Structure 1
């Protein structure tokens, strides 16, 4: 029987070991992606600034949340992470 490394194939054992090793790393990345930034860190304010407000931001989630910032977010608020929604 030939060694799989000579034939260029990948053994089932190699795939299973790689998958088992990748699972914890994927779990850590998922948890890190869900972490949100404190309102004070991004200078969140409940009032608009220079005509920019949360309900026009790409990160805003109606009715009062944000994908990036923790806590209740006013649709008329603003923070340093503000990014205009795509048209």
Structure 2
């Protein structure tokens, strides 16, 4: 039978691990970006025919996007284009 060291129980370890989990998740979400880079999105500053960022549901006026990093033009376009209904 294994000897148990005082103050180092499995219950203490699990409690400490669970207590630190929210902080770990918070730090991870603060560092990670869910957005694509412009090359990943195949972003271009010109429209694709009649389709442009200004007509996309992901466009955030005046020059942002919910899925592409950085400044985007309302006249631009990318492969994530989602037309407004």
Normalized against structure 1, the TM-score is what? 0.64
CA shift for structure 1 position 67? 1.6
Residue 23 of structure 2: aligned partner: 23
What is the Cα-based RMSD across aligned positions, in Å? 2.3
Question: How many pairs were matched up?
Answer: 72
Q: Flag structure 1 segments of 5+ consecutive residues without an equivalent.
A: 1-13
Q: State the Cα deviation string for residues 30-56 of structure 1 (Å, max 9, x = none).
A: 432x34322122111111113211011
Residue 74 of structure 2: aligned partner: 75
Normalized against structure 2, the TM-score is what? 0.65
Q: Flag structure 2 segments of 5+ consecutive residues without an equivalent.
A: 1-13
Deviating runs (4+, > 4 A) in structure 1?
Answer: 14-17
